[in-house]
Amino acid sequence: MRIAVLLSAGRHAVSGRPAPVPVELQAVGLAADFVERHGADLTGLHAGPDVGPLRDALGHGLPNLVHLVTGADDDPLPSLAAALREGAFDLILAGRVAQGGEDSGLLPYALARALGLPIVSDAAALAPGETPGTLNVEQALPRGARRRLLVRLPVLVTVHPAAPAARPFAFAGARRGILETRPGLAAPRASTGLEERPYRPRPKLIAKAAAGASAAERLKAATEAASGGGRLLVDPPPEEAAREILAYLAGIGVVAKR
């Protein structure tokens, strides 16, 4: 079995310095654990002008990394598709949303389309299926729920942040790992036609207050979130307290109404 992990040129969320994308390191961890348990070939792939700190992925359990050198304005898709087709990988792992480009998370899907592979999103765990040529994928759903999928290989899988934490960085591992540089394909990115300007965070709407609510209601909703401001019972008998709690919990739907 051959596994590839796609790595993108991320940036640290605070410092803005080049850094690996955390969820892609988690993908490396998933792949490295799979290799240790079930045996497989593992390679990292990056298409971009510069490998930079992506070399550090070699210290997180990746044995080798192939860097496809493309221009800064090139679309990585053709280079990656060609390399993946040539490598005949059975399993391709990618992060949920790659960084460095538009950050739209579209690349794995476009890649799957280009390679004619099925794609499964948000994996939190991987295991080989019972019949050869299949893979068990545990898909992370919101609020801790999971979906167990059995998929036919080859497949492209994106990894969810709920996957096990990335392996800690080992400096000597990064030193030992093999970095191979290959020329990528020139493919100038089509213009998005979108206006770009420095990002400015926008205030989030308060979900509780619908468009029809009055200003006073919206203000109430906004302050309620911060200060609770709910009901207060002082020294009720335990039975009454229990009734109140259970009714409240049932009201918000965390325990079943009976």
Partner 1 sequence: MSRPRKDPRAERAAQRVAGATRPRFDLARTPETATSGRPRRDPRAEERLALVPGTLRRRLDRTRRAGEAAIPAPQPLATPAPDAPALRRIPEPAFLVALVPDAPGGRLTPHDRQLFGAARLLADAGGGAVVALVDPAADDLAAAGADRVLTLPVSGYDPEGKALALDAALAALGLRHLLFPESAEGGDLARRVAALSGEALFAGAESLTAKAVTRAAHGRRTEQRGAPPTLISLAPDAVAPHAGTLHEALPVAFAFPATTGGAILAAEFVAADPARVSLAEADFVTSAGNGVSDFETFRALIAALGATPGASRMVCDAGLMPRAAQVGASGTVLDARCYFALGIAGAPQHLQGVAKCEHVVAVNTDLHAAMIERAGLAIVADAQEVMPALLRLIAEEASA
Partner 2 sequence: MTDTALALALLVLAMAVVAGALAARRARLWRAGRAARVDWLDGLAALPKRYLVDVHHVVGRDPYAARMHALAAGGLLAGSALALAGLVPLLGNARLYWWIVALAFAAALAGGFMVGRRRLPVKPARLSGGRFQRLPLLLAAYAAGGFLVALDASLGGALRPFAFVGLALAAVGGIGLARQLDRGPMRHAFAGAAHLVAHPRPDRFEGKPATALAPLDLDAPRLGVATPADFTFNRLIGFDACIQCGRCETACPAFAAGQPLNPKRLIQDLAAAIQPNATNAAYAGSPYPNARPVAGIGGPDKPLVGTGAMIHPDTLWSCTTCRACVEECPMMIEHVDAIVDLRRFQTLELGALPVKAAPPLMELRYADEPGGRPLGARTDFAAGLTLPLMAAKGEADVLLWLGEGAYELRYGRTLRALITLLQKAGVDFAVLGAEERDCGDLARRLGDEATFQRLARDNIATLARYRFSRILTADPHALHALRNEYRAFGGAYEVVHHSAFLDELVAAGRLPVGALGGARVTYHDPCYLGRYNGEVDAPRRLLDRLGLERLEMERSGRRSMCCGGGGGAPVSDIEGERRIPDIRMGQASATGAAIVAVACPQCSAMLEGVTGARPDVADIAELVLMAVEAAPAAARAETLA
Residues found near partner 2 in the complex (CB under 8 A) = 12-15, 17-19, 53, 56, 59-61, 165-173
> Six-digit token pair at 186?
């020139």
194 touching partner 1, by CB under 8 A: yes
Residue carrying the six token digits 């538009």:
102
- Which residue spans within 7-115 are E strands per DSSP? 10-11, 18-19, 41-48, 64-69, 91-95
Query: CA-based Rg of the chain, rounded to a whole angstrom?
Result: 24
3-state secondary structure 134-191: EEEEEEECHHHCEEEEEEECCEEEEECCCCCCCCCCCHHHHHHCEEEEEECCCCECCC
Please choose, out of 23-31, 38-46, 68-76, 99-107, the segment that lies near partner 1 by the rule CB under 8 A: 99-107
Backbone angles phi, psi at 52, to 5 degrees: 50, -140
Task: Tell the smallest beta-carbon distance from residue 197 to partner 2 (Å).
Answer: 21
Task: Tell the smallest beta-carbon distance from residue 204 to partner 1 (Å).
Answer: 4
Which of partner 1, partner 2, none lies near 15, with the C-beta cut-off 5 to 8 A by kind? partner 2
Task: Tell the smallest beta-carbon distance from residue 165 to partner 2 (Å).
Answer: 7
234 touching partner 1, by CB under 8 A: yes
73 touching partner 1, by CB under 8 A: no
CA-to-CA distance for 31 and 8, rounded, in angstroms? 16
Task: Tell the smallest beta-carbon distance from residue 43 to partner 1 (Å).
Answer: 22
CB atoms within 10 A of CB 245: 12
Residue carrying the six token digits 């970095």:
179
Please choose, out of 25-33, 61-69, 143-151, 176-184, the segment that lies near partner 1 by the rule CB under 8 A: 143-151
105 touching partner 1, by CB under 8 A: yes
Nearer residue to partner 1 within complex by CB, 178 or 242: 242
222 touching partner 1, by CB under 8 A: no
* Sign of the torsion formed by the C-alpha atoms of 250, 254, 257 and 258: negative
Which of partner 2, partner 1, none lies near 169, with the C-beta cut-off 5 to 8 A by kind? partner 2
Q: Are 117 and 92 in contact (CB under 8 A)?
A: yes
Among 178, 219, 222, 249, binds partner 1 (CB under 8 A): 249
Q: Are 39 and 2 in contact (CB under 8 A)?
A: no
Nearer residue to partner 1 within complex by CB, 172 or 233: 233
Among 36, 50, 150, 178, binds partner 1 (CB under 8 A): 150
Which of partner 1, partner 2, none lies near 147, with the C-beta cut-off 5 to 8 A by kind? partner 1
Which of partner 1, partner 2, none lies near 35, with the C-beta cut-off 5 to 8 A by kind? none
